[in-house]
Amino acid sequence: MIKIENLTKTYNYKKSNAFTALTDVSLTVEDGEMLAIIGKSGAGKSTLLHIIGCIDTFEKGTYTLDDISVHKLSDKKLAQIRNQKVG
């Protein structure tokens, strides 16, 4: 299961040229459930998928993948999660 709560992703966080790609996003995807992520260009679709795939990080919120708190893991553990659970 994928569970994202109040997730915010900002590029160049804490800098004058910061750009917020995702603001306060919450999402739950149950095992076996299928969904489509749609939106206009620049809406944050790829950013969300990168976070779900443990390729990118985020500043605020929580992300849990199969009861594992992804937002607290080291780079090494994230690589293991990508290998075992993402694809």
Give the CATH number for residue 31. Answer: 3.40.50.300
* Among candidate residues 42, 45, 63, the one with its CA nearest the CA of residue 54: 63
Per the structure, the count of domains in the chain is 1
How do residues 40-49 score in pLDDT, each as one tens digit?
999 999 999 9
Domain limits at 33? 2-86
Mean pLDDT for 29-57 is: 94
Whether pLDDT at 14 is above 90: no
Whether pLDDT at 7 is above 90: yes
Mean pLDDT for 6-27 is: 91
Q: Are 3 and 11 in contact (CB under 8 A)?
A: no
The beta-strand segments (E) located in the chain are: 2-11, 19-29, 60-65, 68-69
For residue 34, what pLDDT is reported?
94
Model confidence at 72, pLDDT cuts 50, 70, 90, reads: confident
